[in-house]
Structure 1
Amino acid sequence: MKKILYKVVAILVLTATISACSSDNDDQASGSGKITLEFDNAFGSNDLILQTQGNKTSNNEILKITTVKYIVSNVVLTKADGTIFTYPKEKSYFIADESTKAGQDFELSDIPAGDYVKVKFGIGVDKAQWQLGATGQGDFLAQAQAAGMLWNWTAGYKFFALEGNFTSPTVTTAVPFMIHTGQTGTDYNYTEVTLDFPTKALVRTNINPDVHIITDLSKILDGPNKIKLTDYNTSGMGAMIMGGAALPLITANVATMFRVDHVHND
């Protein structure tokens, strides 16, 4: 009797598994869903708090950050089978802003159903898009201008902006700092980032994954290239890095700031 029961249970489990797999495959093969890219700013191992939090660099400089903004663009998603989905370019420009909830979560719609394992995106506006001219930017130009992410049309977009005050062993009274990347002279300073997911993002008609991306802002100064704000405080009025030889080094650091912490499939 027990053997018969075991066989019945085994058959039921197998049938349920096959049915679930079949249903799962059906969901993957047709339809579309949404996926959200959530950008969570941090400094080292600490979640970022604007205005009041002291953030220490390897050069013993203490930063109190007041502004973090960057342009996220040209999103490309890769499935487990290697299939690539490029998000429509006209919808693929977003402004990350630590001070607003809308500047942290970016929902992408009409994503083909499937199991996604990788995302690629740009930081900044690619040169081909900028070369379309002011009239070729659509609504994003006004959006960037309102967010303070445009110097002027000739100078172009700010790709990344980090601002605040700092002190150091030799700068004992807090002074301001500004780090802005974008087009400077012959350097365009646009960069792209590719991130693997620790678990699959299961896009379905009834599942809209949330990809939680940590942005470690300490990498701006403590990435592959070490940048010391004190060295740029030459007038004693603060460190303003918006061009020159440091900007390509900072752009290289920007590319190392991001990692996917986890994926929510619900």
Structure 2
Amino acid sequence: MIEYLLILYNKMKSLKNIQYLFLALSILTISCSTDDDSSENLSGENNLTMEFDNSVNGDDLILNTTAYTNSNGERITINRFNYIVSNFVLIDSEGNEFTYPKDESYFVISEEAGLNEVQLTNIPAGEYVALRFGVGVDQEKYLQGAEGQGDFLQTAESTNMLWSWLTGYKFLNFEGSFTTAANIEAQDFKIHMGSHGSSLDNYKEFTVDLPTKALVSSNLSPIVHFKVDANQILDGQNKILLSEKSVVMIDEVKSPQIATNAAAMFSVDHIHNGENHDH
């Protein structure tokens, strides 16, 4: 490249050719700079943190006090919003996947308990563009038995995410009260989603694209901020009317519909890349 530029310089006969030379030098400089900033310079490993910001159709979720009206014409007050996220897979810009260790990949997010953060440790360096994870606990994990659940079993029990060991985990625990135009007297509702044997397996996995790359290296530890819309549970792809049935736990029709709705609750709002983060 340098030899070519020298030859070009020796043949210059006009100011126009000199301008072409400076243009070529600029392209060479930009090319070198781009190479220096490439992902090849990301090395080592670090943590990736996810923060789950619970909301209702764009508004902050506030337990016990604020009432929200959905498109079903039902006005709901939420008293409990807990769910399990699990089985995280990070997908980089080249399509490579890093699967987080399965035994460490189960977490409870609980608005009432103040649990809204998941930290994945020892993530290999890379430019990550998507995350795949599940809502709930998969059958493979459950079939390991109570002794195979580790500390997660106690966490689930203490946050009201376990019916009993025999009946299994609650993937979603969504409770509160509601009124309708026809009935202004508040009634309680309970939406508990889980899997009940292979015939009613409501565990769902899905992929969320990141709006910008999450950069991980020995000195870069990103924070991924999720927006979680509780309104999707009743008012998503499937419309669930509490006035028809206010307690849904084991329902062959409504439980799979709620599982599909719950998978659509999650979107990534923004990402902080760097060593120090201002929330």
Match of 2:141 in 1: 129
Q: Which residues of structure 1 form unaligned runs of 5+?
A: 233-238
Match of 1:236 in 2: none
Check if 1:106 corresponds to 2:121: no
Structure 1 counterpart of 2:79, one-letter code: T
The equivalent position to 1:159 in structure 2, one of 171, 192, 195, is 171
Check if 1:60 corresponds to 2:73: yes
Contact 2:168/2:196 (8 A) holds in 1 = no
Q: What is the aligned residue count?
A: 253
The equivalent position to 1:82 in structure 2, one of 95, 98, 115, is 95
Normalising by structure 1, we get a TM-score of 0.88
Structure 2 counterpart of 1:252, one-letter code: T
Residue aligned with 1:230, SS: coil
Counterparts of 1:200 and 1:142, CA distance in 2: 35
Deviation string, structure 1 residues 63-96 (Cα, Å, up to 9, x no partner): 1101110010000000001110000111100001
1:23 is displaced (CA, Å) by 6.0
Normalising by structure 2, we get a TM-score of 0.84
Counterparts of 1:27 and 1:106, CA distance in 2: 27
Match of 1:49 in 2: 62
Counterparts of 2:243 and 2:187, CA distance in 1: 10
Match of 1:189 in 2: 202
1:206 is displaced (CA, Å) by 1.3
Match of 1:173 in 2: 185
Instruction: Say what the alpha-carbon RMSD is for the aligned residues.
Output: 2.2
Question: 5 Å matches for 1:1-266?
Answer: 14=29, 18=32, 21-22=35-36, 24-28=38-42, 30-101=43-114, 103-184=115-196, 186-232=199-245, 239-244=246-251, 245-266=253-274
Largest Rg, 1 or 2:
2
Counterparts of 2:270 and 2:172, CA distance in 1: 24
Counterparts of 1:136 and 1:27, CA distance in 2: 39
Contact 1:171/1:230 (8 A) holds in 2 = no
Deviation string, structure 1 residues 25-80 (Cα, Å, up to 9, x no partner): 4542x200111111111111112111111111112111110111001000000000
1:143 is displaced (CA, Å) by 1.3
Select between 239-248 and 157-166 the one with higher mean Cα deviation. Answer: 239-248
Structure 1 counterpart of 2:257, one-letter code: L
1:204 is displaced (CA, Å) by 1.6
Q: Percent identity?
A: 44
Counterparts of 2:47 and 2:118, CA distance in 1: 10
